[in-house]
């Protein structure tokens, strides 16, 4: 009972103090009891602007030639001659290097001798087959007169078949020797390495006198040099998984070289990888994206590092505000009217009540008669400084953009005041407008005076005429 009386007493005292705050007396109308008024938040403001806004996706990348060939040897040999150096321009078919061919020439002589030997052996085998055939026919004639036995006849047939088999074997050996000669001939042709494309020797990895080896499963082999076609360049970038859904082929892009950040090189997206990957030691998933460089700028060299900007969206006539003006507020922090408007727009979205209450809404605060008013907005394209507002704001509104601590405390209906810096800017702007108006008025007065003088001169001239 005592507790209830205490609460009633405290409520009565509070009501009395609140009422005394509005009691006025005397000619100056000052209150009897001074009650502290609400302190206005100091804010900065900005007007929405209409203009072009572009959303970009940034990614690091490496420059490389579209067509790049690594020259390797297909045989094991020593480099005997190399008439080119790194940086030389070469045409298709130009001599790049010549390998030692003495061992292959010796093998070619051996293969030729082997073929000649087998050709002679085939002639001999053919003669043996003919002799065995004659002996067999004679034995067949003798068997008709019972002058020979069946065992001896079968022996002659076996000998004839053996001679035929030896003859066929010599033919197969000759074919094998001819194939070996063909292989040696091809290896001899491989000792002369010529350029497969027009380009520039971008890297020279071997020197004259070194022994080059062919690649195997565990050994990649010797790369003698790399030839790059510098007329067509590309950039291999790694786009973050957050941004990759926005990137599409044929989108406009700009390449900023580390050597010259002030003059970007135009490019466009060629393709985006369908599967992401992780760099060693990192958990970030990126998607390899290839960009075609649309310029033959001599500054672009293979293996350069670059930063890429890809235009993923553009609006040439958008209403924009600074990005810091758009803030997130929970449903419970917003007025019912704003929530009703949001729920009406989201009528087709099905959410549980718990998820709905946990939603954060994107809003801006506008300044109306020194009071902050919340506005539900629909953001669009955003860049690093400004964001498009598709719905919820007009060009005549005054948007609160900072500072951050004030934005964090802002609520609908909160009193706000411009900072001293903002007031000076407004005063300067007003002064500039007044000066412009004054200058325009003076110019008009001068024109009117000139017109009046001219009229008087014309009148005087008319009066002096006879």
- Compute and round to an integer the Cα radius of gyration of the chain: 48
Q: What is the per-residue burial (b if ≥16 Cβ within 10 Å, else e) of 271-281? A: ebeeeeeeeee
> Is 264 in contact with 252 (CB distance < 8 Å)?
no
pLDDT of residue 240: 92
Give the count of beta carbons closer than 10 Å to the beta carbon of residue 184. 20
CA dist., res. 235 & res. 223, Å (int): 23
Tokens of 9: 């007493």
Largest CA distance in the chain: 172
* Helix spans in 238-320 (H): none
CA dist., res. 391 & res. 319, Å (int): 9
Reported as a single tens digit per residue, the pLDDT across 335-382 is 888 888 888 887 766 666 656 666 788 999 999 988 999 999 999 998
- Where the chain has pLDDT below 50, the residues are 20, 22-30, 32-35, 433, 456-466
> Is 187 in contact with 75 (CB distance < 8 Å)?
yes
CA dist., res. 424 & res. 419, Å (int): 9
Helix or strand (DSSP H, E) at 331 = none
DSSP assignment of 277-322: EE-TT---EEEEEEEEE----TT--TT-EEEEEEEEEEEEEEEEEE
CA dist., res. 124 & res. 129, Å (int): 9
> Bridge partners of 233?
65
The C-alpha torsion from 177 through 178 and 180 to 181, rounded to 10°, is: 120
CA dist., res. 432 & res. 176, Å (int): 99
E strands, 149-257, are: 192-194, 199-204, 211-212, 223-228, 233-240, 252-257
> Bridge partners of 289?
237, 272
Tokens of 55: 């959303």
Helix (H, G, I), strand (E, B) or coil at 25: strand
Q: How far apart are the first and last CA of the chain?
A: 117
Tokens of 149: 């036995």
Q: What single-letter DSSP state applies at residue 424?
A: H
pLDDT of residue 25: 46
> Bridge partners of 310?
57, 253
pLDDT of residue 33: 47
pLDDT of residue 462: 44
Tokens of 374: 């919340």
pLDDT of residue 258: 87
Reported as a single tens digit per residue, the pLDDT across 239-256 is 999 999 999 999 999 999
> Is 228 in contact with 88 (CB distance < 8 Å)?
no
Tokens of 461: 């001239």
pLDDT of residue 49: 92
Helix (H, G, I), strand (E, B) or coil at 128: helix
Give the count of beta carbons closer than 10 Å to the beta carbon of residue 417. 14
Helix (H, G, I), strand (E, B) or coil at 373: strand
């Amino acid at each position: 009972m005592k507790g209830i009386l205490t609460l009633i007493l405290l409520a009565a005292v509070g009501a009395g103090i609140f009422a005394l705050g509005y009691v006025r007396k005397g000619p100056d109308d000052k209150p009897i009891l001074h009650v502290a008024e609400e302190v206005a938040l100091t804010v900065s403001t900005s007007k929405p602007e209409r203009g072009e806004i572009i959303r970009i996706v940034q990614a690091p990348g490496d420059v490389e030639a579209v067509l790049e060939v690594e020259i390797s040897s297909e045989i094991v040999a020593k480099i005997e001659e190399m008439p080119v150096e790194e940086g030389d321009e070469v045409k298709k078919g130009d001599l790049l290097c010549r390998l030692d061919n003495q061992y292959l020439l010796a093998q070619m002589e051996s293969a030729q001798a082997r073929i000649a030997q087998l050709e002679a052996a085939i002639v001999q085998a053919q003669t043996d087959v003919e002799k065995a055939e004659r002996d067999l026919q004679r034995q067949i004639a003798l068997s008709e007169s019972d002058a020979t036995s069946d065992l001896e006849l079968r022996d002659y047939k076996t000998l004839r078949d053996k001679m035929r088999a030896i003859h066929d074997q010599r033919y197969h050996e000759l074919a094998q020797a001819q194939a070996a000669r063909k292989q040696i001939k091809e290896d001899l042709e491989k000792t002369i390495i010529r350029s497969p494309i027009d380009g520039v020797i971008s890297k020279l990895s071997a020197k004259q006198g070194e022994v080059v080896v062919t690649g195997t499963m565990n050994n990649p082999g010797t790369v003698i040099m790399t030839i790059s076609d510098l007329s067509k360049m590309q950039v291999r970038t790694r786009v973050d998984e957050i941004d990759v859904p926005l990137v599409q082929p044929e989108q406009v892009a700009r390449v900023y070289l580390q050597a010259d950040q002030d003059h970007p090189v135009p490019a466009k997206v060629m393709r985006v990888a369908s599967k992401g990957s992780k760099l060693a030691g990192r958990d970030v998933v990126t998607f390899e994206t290839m960009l075609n460089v649309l310029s033959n700028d001599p500054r672009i060299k293979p293996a350069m590092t670059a930063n890429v900007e890809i235009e993923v969206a553009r609006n040439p006539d958008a209403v924009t505000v600074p990005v810091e003006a758009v803030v997130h507020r929970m449903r419970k922090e917003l007025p019912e009217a704003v929530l009703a408007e949001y729920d009406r727009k989201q009528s087709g979205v099905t959410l549980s009540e718990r998820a709905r209450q946990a939603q954060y809404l994107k809003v801006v605060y506008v300044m109306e008669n020194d009071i902050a008013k919340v506005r539900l907005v629909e953001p669009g394209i955003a860049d690093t400084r400004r964001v498009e507002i598709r719905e919820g704001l007009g060009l005549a509104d005054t948007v609160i953009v900072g500072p951050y601590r004030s934005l964090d405390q802002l609520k609908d209906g909160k009193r706000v005041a411009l900072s001293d810096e903002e007031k000076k800017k407004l005063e300067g702007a007003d002064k500039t407008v007044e000066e412009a108006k004054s200058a325009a008025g003076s110019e008009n007065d001068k024109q009117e005076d000139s017109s009046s003088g001219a009229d008087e001169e014309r009148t005087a001239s008319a009066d002096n005429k006879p």
